[in-house]
Structure 1
């Protein structure tokens, strides 16, 4: 038997969780036709699968993202599901049934959201039907061969044992079994001493234990490189400082703290305030005195924040930002490549605004130019997306969303100012996060995930959502964060850290990938209200708190 052959439709019907990753283009087209041919009022989410062999004849069907109906299932009536719901083989769902997020229904289980009356005045088959409906909360596991009868509500986080017959409501966190089903215990009642440590806590412990070796492998005896064999870079030294601060609460052990400060401070050119790449000269400034691209732009962030973590600061102001007038700044903003290079535009604003932040420490930045920056941005944000720049047929919203992260990181987030149209931003970012060109299986990289996670985090905090379930698109945000977190944690390579991803610096583990993914994991965990389990919080380039306040717009 050839084990490399493509899975068949029959295979996917019984193992639908494989479909999104392994289906051919022809199979994808066939599934789209299958979904379009469903009867009734049907709306199917992203990355869903409806088995060819399933008998699905709904009056109304709402299937949330990343959900599936597997082989030989039987679905009629009105079914509404949240995200990540599974109806496994031979499941029966009839009548009115509403499922929350993350509901797992075992094989041969029946959810019967209707009933016959059985008065004595006529045969049963002639009796009218009634329907109170079944409601199932979030994070519920219903085992195989279970029957849930009409009128039952199953609360969040319940577990129903195989073969149970559920005839009464079950409160949240109940573990139940039997015929009729009886509560056995509360899922949260395990003794604290016996409770397993969370995956986040285990990951953080591992990362801290291996941080020293990870930094040492990227030290060539004189300088830091992103990974063994790569050329030493300025950013690698800064990433090492960030990683050591995050995981160890100290400086990288290869140098004393004052030597780290001396080396990084000496990199800054005193005339321009910029930091060139190691062994390279500075790029020429434009007519307004500031550069427009290159490593020196990012070094304003990375070197500035590395020195900040070390208790020091850039020794000189960044002259191009200090001497730029408001008129010159507005002209520069208008000339940025918003139509076809929104990421480049956002990165430039990130660097300029961060330079203004450091200059204000030196007392050498006219606050009027910073106010001009925010005034220009606020008046030009697209009210439909809350963003700047235009999408493209080739990349979708990639440039716009990634540019939004860089732009808002250095401006609104760094200065502690509210972003415009936060609900629209959440909608646009979540729409982008479903684009399989950038978020298909194995295609995520650190930039693309961070540039979704941070805007979602920033906007939900501004909207006051926190990690609750009643804010704008909170369920969708949590579902995305859970998927990304589950995918991110296993990418850690013992003693080496994280690779960046399939593009950019590549999949090999190194300092840049490690620094970025550590911050990403914090943001994902905080979107779920669980960042305290990590025991760390970013304090450098990716810090969640504003670095500066005081502007009044």
Structure 2
């Protein structure tokens, strides 16, 4: 079995029967036979059970076209119908019966048993009990959901990501939260935007769920409208535009977020091959389509679209289970002294955003190089953090002193810098309360944040630093939440059916005011961050995993 193919199938098992080799199919058939012999399992046609999953049931019946992905943990008396998917790292234990078409997100626990809790004995000495869990047909269970023993989930229900389900869920219900509560009926039409300035949590949860439901329903259409079949097929930011590398990456991010799959115009392997072959082996950078720089040194880190492609292509490959073929040599060969020298020469005062973008791309390139164990990666990264931590302003929390004239560039540059460094590597940001004050002062500027004046960059570059700060402080949290409520209410109104979202809300900005892949990808992430500041992101049922992921991509080691 090709190791790369095997890894892809273990994490994306629905691709197996359409693209596996004969040897891979024979290996899967042999795995089925072992489970039948050992556990008496009943396995339907075209089912796939990852060898990396711990499948050790008392009884198991799994229907046709159903899948169990890598590192799932399956024990007890388990029945899955046809077209069910148990995604990676999920747990299904005890007495659990599912109908057809059940989708279970990653890191979910469905626990059809419990401990007795008699006060006269320690819990570990008491017997287990089991009422069992029953799940109907056509149920979507999001990532990180917990379903406890004794629960019945009706057909066509949706359990939002992160929900803790302790009571029965009626048919067609969308539930979310801890403990889970009903948000709305899945059959209800999209809820119109409310005129209430600060909606209740229930109303906001319902509005978020409706937005996400509409976005998922339109995902295939908006990806299709940006695909052109010319020259072998490619993605454009919008119909009529030229194909770009970023458009391809944005399509992958959108499909992952809303569909849990790759864009349907190409297979996973085709997406992977197209992106990997774009990398220049000399510099490790990815130029724009049509560039004639491969194999020489004319492509430069810090100039042109190749710099952002370190982020967009790297994370697109990561989402589809791959990575760059070559190290990012353009930064891998920089020793700590060269890193410090480069930082010293950046135009911080005149171009705060450009300087922050350089650091973002450098930090991300270092992350990809760490994955390939490049010898310079760790020492140079330590030099980067050392320079940043000794140059940040204790008065503003930023790397350039903000004024009325430059505050937009300073805050936007702060987002780019911290995204690729502190956020990406799980390092706490410095002077966090002063940073909150600086960002909120900028967020009050009507030139950028009054109704109809927002664009995706400006809103993202405020909400992400605030979200990052509130992992470490409660300073002015309510002020930030009030701003987030206002921005979220307006953002939810901007979805264009079948087309997505425009980068800019301002009509006078021309092409930036029409729906694009870039605008859609960015606003989907922004809406998640705004909702999470308000404690309501679970209602969306999605969580960014690519460029805008909230979790660190890699936590640096500590002593």
Asked if residue 359 in structure 1 is aligned to residue 369 in structure 2, the reply is yes
Instruction: Measure how far apart 1:390 and its partner are.
Output: 3.7
The structure whose Rg is larger is 1
Cα deviation for residue 504 of structure 1 reads 9.1
The 8 Å contact of residues 285 and 291 in structure 1, kept in 2 or not, is answered as no
Distance 1:282 1:429 in 2: 40
Match of 1:499 in 2: 502
Change beyond 3 A, Cα 1:368–1:552: farther
Alignment of 1:344-383 (within 5 A): 344-366=354-376, 367-383=378-394
What secondary structure, in the 3-state scheme, does the structure 2 residue paired with 1:529 have?
coil
The CA deviation at 1:435 is 1.2
Out of 178, 201, 206, the residue aligned to residue 209 of structure 2 is 201
* Correspondence for 2:251 among 240, 245, 265: 240
Distance 1:365 1:416, change over 3 A: farther
Distance 1:412 1:214 in 2: 33
- Equivalent residue, structure 1, for 2:218: 210
- Preserved contact between residue 485 and residue 525 of structure 1 (Cα < 8 Å): yes
* 1:439 equivalenced with 2:449 (yes/no): yes
Distance in 2 separating the partners of 1:504 and 1:329: 39
Structure 1 residues 202 and 339: alpha-carbon distance in aligned structure 2, compared to 1, 3 A threshold = same
Checking the alignment, whether the CA contact within 8 Å between 1:242 and 1:515 is kept in structure 2 is yes
Please name the residue that 1:10 is paired with. none
In the alignment, which of 404, 407, 410 is matched to residue 397 of structure 1?
407
Equivalent in 481, 486, 497 of residue 483 of structure 1 = 486
1:352-380 deviations in Å (ceiling 9; x for gaps)? 11000000111114211000000000001
Is the CA contact (8 Å cut-off) linking 2:459 and 2:526 kept in structure 1?
yes
1:228 to 2:239 alignment:
yes
Among 536, 539, 548, the residue aligned to 2:542: 536
Give the C-alpha shift of residue 438 in structure 1. Answer: 1.6
Asked whether the equivalents of residues 326 and 368 of structure 1 are also in contact (C-alpha less than 8 Å), the reply is yes
Cα deviation code 1:90-127 (max 9, x no counterpart): xxxxxxxxxxxxxxxxxxxxxxxxxxxxxxxxxxxxxx
Contact 1:356–1:365 under 8 Å retained in 2 = no
1:506 counterpart SS class:
helix
Partner of 2:552: 546
Give the drift of 1:340: 1.1
1:301 and 2:311 aligned: yes
Q: Which moved more, 1:449-458 or 1:193-202?
A: 193-202
2:475 is matched with: 472
How far off its partner does 1:407 sit?
0.2
| Of 190-199 and 420-429, the range deviating more from structure 2 | 190-199
**In 1, distance between residues paired with 2:484 and 2:358?**
28
Contact 1:342 1:390 in 2 (8 A): no
Q: Post-superposition shift, 1:290?
A: 5.6
CA offset at residue 321 of structure 1? Answer: 1.1
- What is the CA–CA distance in structure 1 between the aligned matches of 2:419 and 2:184, rounded to whole Å? 41
Distance in 2, matches of 1:308 and 1:266, equals: 15
Q: Secondary structure at the match of 2:234?
A: coil
Which residue in the other structure is 2:148 paired with? none
Name which of 348, 354, 369 aligns with 1:338: 348
8 Å CA contact 1:235, 1:299 repeated in 2? yes
CA contact 1:241–1:306 (8 Å) conserved in 2: yes
| 2:340 and 2:383 in contact (8 A); partners too | yes
Residue 207 (structure 1) shift: 0.2
Q: CA deviation at 1:280?
A: 2.1
Task: Report Cα offsets for 1:225-279 as digits up to 9, x if no partner.
Answer: 0010000000000000000000000000000000000000011011110000111
Normalized against structure 1, the TM-score is what?
0.62
Secondary structure of 2:290 counterpart:
coil
Residue 156 of structure 1 corresponds to which residue in structure 2?
A: none
How far the C-alpha of 1:192 sits from its partner, in A, is: 7.6
For 2:264 and 2:547, locate their aligned partners in 1 and report how far apart those are by CA, in whole Å: 21
Name which of 429, 433, 436 aligns with 1:419: 429
Q: Deviations over 1:505-553 (max 9, x none)?
A: 6111010000000000000000000000000000000000000112449
Q: Distance in 2 between matches of 1:230 and 1:273?
A: 27
Deviation of 1:285 (Å): 6.2
Q: How does 1:247-326 map to 2 (within 5 A)?
A: 247-282=258-293, 291-326=301-336
Rounded Cα–Cα distance in structure 2 between residues aligned with 1:432 and 1:218: 34
CA distance in 2, matches of 1:238, 1:268: 14
1:338 is paired with a residue whose SS is coil
Q: Does structure 2 conserve the Cα–Cα contact (< 8 Å) formed by 1:413 and 1:458?
A: yes
Aligned equivalent of 1:29: none
Quote the offset at 1:436 in angstroms. Answer: 1.8
Q: Partners of 2:288 and 2:271 in 1: how far apart? A: 17
CA distance in 2, matches of 1:399, 1:215: 32
Change (3 A) 1:473 1:268: same
- CA drift of 1:325 comes to 1.1
How many Å separate the matches in 1 of 2:184 and 2:212? Answer: 20
Provide the C-alpha distance between the structure 1 equivalents of 2:503 and 2:362, rounded to a whole number of angstroms. 25
Q: Note the C-alpha offset of 1:413.
A: 0.4
Deviation at 1:292, TM superposition (A): 2.2
